[in-house]
C-alpha cells in the first residue's frame, strides 16, 4: 500500500480551512442548500469532475474512475441547523438563525479534499462516487437521494460516512460493528374533550391532567416494558395547552421523540404508547389520538466494511488512537437509510474537548479545523483500502 497522504493534505491545509470557514459563513437548512450545492459543485469542477446535481433536490454526486475495480461511495452531509450562532468567531454564520452547528461544513471540506487528491493523483483502481447529501438533520435527505435513484444511477457495492465527534480525543477514531447510532421516531398526541371553568372542573374534563398522566405513564415503558438488556429512550419534549389562569382547555397537544436500536423494541414502544393513550382516554372520558412517525432507522455498520474503515483509521492515526469497543450513541443519523441498502461503515473522528459548550447542536459549537487533514487522509485510506480488497463476497 502506498503511504498515507497526510503530507499532501498538510500542504493544502490553509485551503481546507478557508473552504470550511467559507461554508461556515453560509449555513443553509434542509433542502435549501443551494449556495452550498453551488460551492461544492464549483470546487469539484475546478478539480476536473463533472458533478451531477439534483438528487434529493440539492444533492451533488461526482464520480471518478481509474482502471478496473469495484465501485464505492463516500458520503458527506451538507445542511445546517436552525440555531443562532454564539461563538463570536470572525467567520461566524452570516445567516441569522442558521448555523453549521453539527460540523457538516467540515465534513464537506474533508470529502472535497479527498476528491481533489484522487483527481490529481489517480492513485487508485476502481470507481469512486463522492456523495454530497442534503437534509441530514431530521429531514431524511439520504432517503430522498435513494428515492431519486442514487444506487441505480451510481452503482456501488458499499459506502462510508464520517462524523466529527466532540468529546472523543482530537484525531482519534471510533467505529464499531453493529449499531453505531440509534433509531429515531417522533410522536404527536392530541388530547381533546369538553373543557371547563377552572373553579368548576366537575362540569367538564381536564385535558392537562390527562397529559400529565400520559407523560408519567410513558416513563413506565422503558422502566417496565422494555427488556432491561435492551436500550431505549422515551422523551416528551412539548406540552401545549391553555391560555388563561382560570380555564381548563379543551385541547392539549404533546410531542416528543423515542430512540432505540431494534425493530422489536420500536414496535413495543409504539404499541405501548397507543395502549397508554387509549387507557387514559377511557378513564378520563376524552379523546386521545397518537400519531407515531418512524423517522430514522438505527445506523448499523457491517463487519467487513467496518474492518476496512478501522484499518484505514489505524493507517492514518495509529493503533492507539482507534477504538472499536464503545457504547453506541442514542443520537441518530440518516446515513442509516444508505446502510439499509448497501453495506458500509459510519465512523466518528474525535474533535477533542467539549469545553466552552463545544457540543454538537449547541450555539457555542466550533468545528475543530485541526482534524481536517486527518479526516481527509482517512477518506483516501478508506477508499484505497476498500478498492484494494476488491469485490465483497
User: Interface residues with Zn ion (CB under 5 A)?
Assistant: 102
For 88, left (φ over 0), alpha (ψ -120 to 50), or beta?
left
Closest CB to Zn ion among residues 47, 335? 335
d(CA 66, CA 348): 28
Closest CB to Zn ion among residues 101, 280? 101
Return all residues near 61 (Cβ < 8 A) that are at least 6 apart: 51, 52, 55, 129, 130, 131, 132, 150, 153, 154
Cell numbers 405513564 correspond to: 217
Return all residues near 293 (Cβ < 8 A) that are at least 6 apart: 185, 186, 187, 188
Closest CB to Zn ion among residues 61, 102? 102
Closest CB to Zn ion among residues 102, 211? 102
* Distance in Å, CB of 230 to Zn ion, minimum: 25
Closest CB to Zn ion among residues 102, 273? 102
Nearest 5°: phi and psi at 262? Answer: -125, 150
Closest CB to Zn ion among residues 49, 379? 379
* Distance in Å, CB of 77 to Zn ion, minimum: 6
Buried b / exposed e over 93-131, threshold 16 CB at 10 Å, is bebeebbbbbbbbbbbbbbbbbbbbbbeeeebebbbbbb
| Cβ pair 5, 117 in contact under 8 A | yes
Q: By beta-carbon distance, which residue lies closest to Zn ion?
A: 102
Closest CB to Zn ion among residues 136, 206? 136
* Distance in Å, CB of 79 to Zn ion, minimum: 9
* Distance in Å, CB of 325 to Zn ion, minimum: 23
Number of Cα atoms under 13 Å in the Cβ half of residue 18: 5
Residue 223 to residues 157, 220, 273, 350, Cα–Cα distance (Å): 41, 5, 13, 33
H helices present in 29-125, as ranges: 34-46, 104-121
**N residues, the chain:** 393
CA angle 160, 164, 165 (to 5 degrees): 120
Identify which of 261, 266, 185 has the alpha carbon closest to the alpha carbon of residue 225. 266
Closest CB to Zn ion among residues 21, 133? 133
Closest CB to Zn ion among residues 62, 76? 76
Amino acid at each position: 500500500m502506498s503511504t498515507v497522504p497526510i503530507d499532501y493534505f498538510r500542504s493544502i491545509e490553509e485551503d481546507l480551512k478557508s473552504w470550511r470557514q467559507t461554508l461556515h459563513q453560509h449555513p443553509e437548512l434542509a433542502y435549501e442548500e443551494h449556495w452550498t450545492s453551488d460551492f461544492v459543485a464549483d470546487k469539484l469542477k475546478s478539480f476536473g469532475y463533472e458533478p451531477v446535481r439534483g438528487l434529493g433536490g440539492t444533492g451533488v454526486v461526482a464520480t471518478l474512475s481509474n482502471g478496473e475495480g469495484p465501485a464505492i461511495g463516500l458520503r458527506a452531509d451538507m445542511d445546517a441547523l436552525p440555531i443562532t450562532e454564539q461563538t463570536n468567531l470572525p467567520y461566524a454564520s452570516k445567516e441569522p438563525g442558521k448555523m453549521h452547528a453539527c460540523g457538516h461544513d467540515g465534513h464537506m471540506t474533508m470529502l472535497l479534499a479527498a476528491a481533489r487528491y484522487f483527481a490529481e493523483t489517480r492513485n487508485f483502481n476502481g470507481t469512486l462516487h463522492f456523495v454530497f447529501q442534503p437534509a441530514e438533520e431530521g429531514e431524511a435527505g439520504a432517503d430522498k437521494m435513494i428515492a431519486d435513484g442514487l444506487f441505480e444511477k451510481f452503482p456501488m457495492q458499499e459506502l462510508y460516512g464520517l462524523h466529527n465527534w466532540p468529546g472523543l480525543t482530537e484525531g482519534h477514531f471510533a467505529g464499531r460493528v453493529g449499531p453505531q447510532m440509534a433509531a429515531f421516531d417522533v410522536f404527536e398526541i392530541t388530547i381533546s374533550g369538553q373543557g371547563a371553568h377552572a373553579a368548576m372542573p366537575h362540569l367538564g374534563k381536564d385535558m392537562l391532567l390527562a397529559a400529565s398522566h400520559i407523560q408519567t405513564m410513558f416513563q413506565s415503558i422503558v422502566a417496565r416494558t422494555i427488556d432491561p438488556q435492551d436500550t431505549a429512550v422515551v422523551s416528551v419534549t412539548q406540552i401545549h395547552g391553555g391560555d388563561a389562569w382560570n380555564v381548563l382547555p379543551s385541547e392539549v397537544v404533546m410531542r416528543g421523540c423515542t430512540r432505540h436500536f431494534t425493530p422489536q423494541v420500536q414496535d413495543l414502544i409504539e404499541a405501548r404508547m397507543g395502549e397508554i393513550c387509549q387507557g387514559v382516554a377511557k378513564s378520563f372520558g376524552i379523546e386521545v389520538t397518537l400519531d407515531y412517525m418512524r423517522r430514522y432507522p438505527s445506523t448499523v455498520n457491517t463487519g467487513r466494511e467496518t474492518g476496512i474503515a478501522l484499518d484505514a483509521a489505524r493507517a492514518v492515526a495509529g493503533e492507539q488512537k482507534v477504538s472499536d469497543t464503545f457504547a453506541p450513541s442514542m443520537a441518530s443519523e440518516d446515513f442509516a437509510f444508505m446502510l439499509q441498502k448497501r453495506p458500509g461503515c459510519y465512523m466518528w473522528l474525535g474533535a477533542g474537548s467539549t469545553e466552552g459548550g463545544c457540543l454538537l447542536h449547541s450555539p457555542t459549537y466550533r468545528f475543530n479545523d485541526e482534524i481536517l487533514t486527518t479526516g481527509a487522509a482517512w477518506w483516501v485510506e478508506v477508499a484505497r483500502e476498500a478498492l484494494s480488497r476488491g469485490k465483497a463476497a
